[in-house]
Structure 1
Amino acid sequence: MTDQLKLTGPADLLGYIPHMLGGAPMESFVVQTATAGALGATIRVDAPMGADPEGFAQTLASFAARDETATATYVIVYTDETSTDERFPYAAHLTALGNELATARMPVRKAYLVTGTHWAAYGTTERNPLSQITDSNANATLTYLGSAPTADVYNPALLGNWVEPVRVPERTEHSLTEARQAWAALLDTTGTPDRETGRAVAAWFQDPFIRDFLMADTITTNTGRIIDVLLGKFNGCPDWSRVDRAEAAAFELMKLVPEGQRAPMLTLMGWIQWLKGSGTHADRYLKLAAEDLPGYRLAVLLHELIGNVYIADVAKDPATAYKRPTT
């Protein structure tokens, strides 16, 4: 992804990270691994709030250590929280993290602070404008190449409520087989499904049992255990093009059902964003799913999982992690 990208300073690094995460981090710690002349994995977790500094640091450092080629790291604290001197929030957590990363032989080269009003080298009195990040060479180049970190494909107001609800089919062995075949066919082709096919698939997604199979079938390298797949544990690197098609298909299916029946597709989209390593977008979609159908169980459970700083295994490993397309 960085073949056509040259980072010449901290603003470029800070402009690069939202493109890797699929959105600008908020109240987050980000660790960017690096080797000589190249960047590696981009890892984001929620800001520690009241978490024990040592435990938080050990957890985050263990995630970074999944990049076995890394020899150094950058740490960026995204927050509007303030400390007693208003400049160094989460200082104890950052110190502990620096110690853990040094022990793991990937010492911190630089640490930065990004707030809603400015950015700075962490621990300094700088107050650099955020426009330096948005105007950076990295942000301009990646945007030109087609990356859109702030893109949001879901706008409930644009979907409307003029469609009739779909009827949930009876759950049988035959209907499960039929649903899985239809979903596989949809993902193996390009373009949007016709109305009849789309509404049929959307109806199958309303059944939690069938929904879980369809979500698992999105990943062709799964282990065969649905619970493992839903937790982001499967063999090898997924066919990310197929996963992208599943996300696009979920959006198309939402156009064919009214409010109250969109939660399964929103949950699928949130789960996919989580697998891709974008906790920000995952959080948004899962919250919207719980709003569309209050208390929607899978959305609530996944939201709790992500909130506990659980990162999908596939997103931790640079060999299997999603590479956001730029061309």
Structure 2
Amino acid sequence: MLEKLTLTGPADLLAYIPHLLGGTPTESFVVLTATAGALGATLRVDAPMDAAPLGFAQTVTSLAAQDENATACYLVVYTDETDDDTQFPYAAHIAALGNELATARMPVRKVYLVTRTHWAAYGTTERNPLDQITDSNANATMTFMGSAASVDVYNPALLGKWVEPVQVPVLTEECIEQGRQDWNTALQTPGTPEAETARKLAAWFQVPHLRDVLMAETITTKNGSMLDLLRGKFDGRPDWKRVDHAEAVAFELMKVVPEGQRAPMLTLMGWLQWLKGSGTQAARYLKLAAEDVPDYRLAVLLDELILTDGIAEVATNRETAYTRPIS
């Protein structure tokens, strides 16, 4: 496991972000908080488009300020909304954000612009090749140590087209206990379940109450109400390897059921991505869940919760936050 990575320049910093987020952002603002020479939390939000600069800046600052230890930050703007007439896109939003972050006592040290063709220190006319990022020491080190800048267990091409629906079990105390045992066994067993076991697990997830129980069982450290759990309020650091495995297993369950029965697993994957700090992937999975079962209630509620809370509490504390596996 790589415990410390020294970033020696902007190319290293920009190479680090895709490894943190699981892919290179597009049309996004990324804020990296910092304190005492070390990076803290990472926040990605959609580019503001038509949003008012002040309102956008206040929203982003309120989210970044959840890292109470931060004393500074870096801002990276990923966009292709540039041409010869607009070399400095979102200038008003960046200025407003700089003012708000400074007021929050976490001033912006540097702003960088990354496009499809180049990167630059924002506000300059330089055009640095993207190869400087991919060839950087940080990218080489993290890749060598086993990190991938794009990791996604969801691949729709692998989902079955002609599979029979699973029978939804009747909810009983025995059903709940058996479902818990089966799910914990799957999360404690290396590899992925065989088709018959996967279909049995997928059937458990079709029962709303049992689905919620199984989601709770995914996290081994927790306290408080179910709402606290959904918001990522835990009493310690989750077993993130178990969470990674749960995502992989959830995708295997999706392979053995048809459309219309995949929403529970997509919702689980969306929630786990949010706990890890990836709002982009979370929104993607929750949207897919609401498409698989129109307006799937838990997916809709979680989407609203994420919009309200911004960042899961577990992701704002460096002692409990997810770190991408490097082995």
> Do they fold alike, i.e. is TM over 0.5?
yes
Relative to the length of structure 1, the TM-score reads 0.90
3-state DSSP of counterpart to 2:44: strand
For residue 25 of structure 2, what is the aligned residue in structure 1? 25
3-state DSSP of counterpart to 2:280: helix
**Structure 1 residue 202 displacement after superposition:** 0.5
Alignment of 1:162-181 (within 5 A): 162-181=162-181
For residue 66 of structure 1, what is the aligned residue in structure 2? 66
> Taking structure 1 as reference, are residues 4 and 314 closer, same or farther at Cα in structure 2, changes over 3 Å only?
closer
**Structure 1 residue 250 displacement after superposition:** 0.6
Mapped to 1, the partners of 2:128 and 2:222 lie a distance apart of 46
Is 1:40 paired with 2:40?
Answer: yes
Could you tell me whether the CA contact under 8 Å between 1:220 and 1:238 is conserved in 2? yes
* Structure 1 gap segments, 5+ residues each: none
For residue 286 of structure 2, what is the aligned residue in structure 1? 286
For residue 123 of structure 1, what is the aligned residue in structure 2? 123
Mapped to 2, the partners of 1:131 and 1:284 lie a distance apart of 29
- The residue type equivalent to 2:185 in the other structure is A
- The residue type equivalent to 2:277 in the other structure is G
Aligned length: 327
- The residue type equivalent to 1:98 in the other structure is G
Alignment of 1:187-206 (within 5 A): 187-206=187-206
| Worse-matched range after superposition: 53-62 or 88-97 | 53-62
Alignment of 1:102-251 (within 5 A): 102-251=102-251
For residue 8 of structure 1, what is the aligned residue in structure 2? 8
3-state DSSP of counterpart to 2:212: helix
- The residue type equivalent to 2:17 in the other structure is I
- The residue type equivalent to 2:276 in the other structure is K
> Taking structure 1 as reference, are residues 258 and 30 closer, same or farther at Cα in structure 2, changes over 3 Å only?
same
Could you tell me whether the CA contact under 8 Å between 2:53 and 2:93 is conserved in 1? yes
Mapped to 2, the partners of 1:163 and 1:288 lie a distance apart of 19
3-state DSSP of counterpart to 1:41: strand
Is 1:319 paired with 2:319?
Answer: yes
3-state DSSP of counterpart to 1:110: strand
**Structure 1 residue 313 displacement after superposition:** 1.5
Mapped to 1, the partners of 2:83 and 2:231 lie a distance apart of 36
For residue 276 of structure 1, what is the aligned residue in structure 2? 276
* Structure 2 gap segments, 5+ residues each: none
Mapped to 2, the partners of 1:277 and 1:83 lie a distance apart of 32
| Worse-matched range after superposition: 247-256 or 232-241 | 232-241
**Structure 1 residue 206 displacement after superposition:** 1.1
Mapped to 1, the partners of 2:307 and 2:66 lie a distance apart of 21
Could you tell me whether the CA contact under 8 Å between 1:286 and 1:299 is conserved in 2? yes
Mapped to 2, the partners of 1:100 and 1:287 lie a distance apart of 31
Could you tell me whether the CA contact under 8 Å between 2:158 and 2:255 is conserved in 1? no
Could you tell me whether the CA contact under 8 Å between 1:43 and 1:316 is conserved in 2? no
For residue 98 of structure 1, what is the aligned residue in structure 2? 98
> Taking structure 1 as reference, are residues 157 and 3 closer, same or farther at Cα in structure 2, changes over 3 Å only?
closer
> Taking structure 1 as reference, are residues 128 and 84 closer, same or farther at Cα in structure 2, changes over 3 Å only?
closer
> Taking structure 1 as reference, are residues 305 and 47 closer, same or farther at Cα in structure 2, changes over 3 Å only?
farther
For residue 256 of structure 1, what is the aligned residue in structure 2? 256
Mapped to 1, the partners of 2:8 and 2:134 lie a distance apart of 14
**Structure 1 residue 277 displacement after superposition:** 0.9
Could you tell me whether the CA contact under 8 Å between 1:33 and 1:67 is conserved in 2? yes
Mapped to 2, the partners of 1:55 and 1:83 lie a distance apart of 26
3-state DSSP of counterpart to 2:70: coil
> Taking structure 1 as reference, are residues 116 and 301 closer, same or farther at Cα in structure 2, changes over 3 Å only?
farther
**Structure 1 residue 116 displacement after superposition:** 2.3
> Taking structure 1 as reference, are residues 318 and 60 closer, same or farther at Cα in structure 2, changes over 3 Å only?
farther
> Taking structure 1 as reference, are residues 95 and 309 closer, same or farther at Cα in structure 2, changes over 3 Å only?
farther
3-state DSSP of counterpart to 1:109: strand
Deviations 1:296-320 (A, max 9, x none): 2322343454456722111122222
Mapped to 1, the partners of 2:262 and 2:149 lie a distance apart of 24
- The residue type equivalent to 1:94 in the other structure is I
> Taking structure 1 as reference, are residues 187 and 3 closer, same or farther at Cα in structure 2, changes over 3 Å only?
closer
Mapped to 2, the partners of 1:239 and 1:169 lie a distance apart of 29
- The residue type equivalent to 2:253 in the other structure is L
Mapped to 2, the partners of 1:325 and 1:141 lie a distance apart of 13
**Structure 1 residue 122 displacement after superposition:** 1.0
Identity among equivalent pairs (%): 72
Alpha-carbon RMSD: 2.4
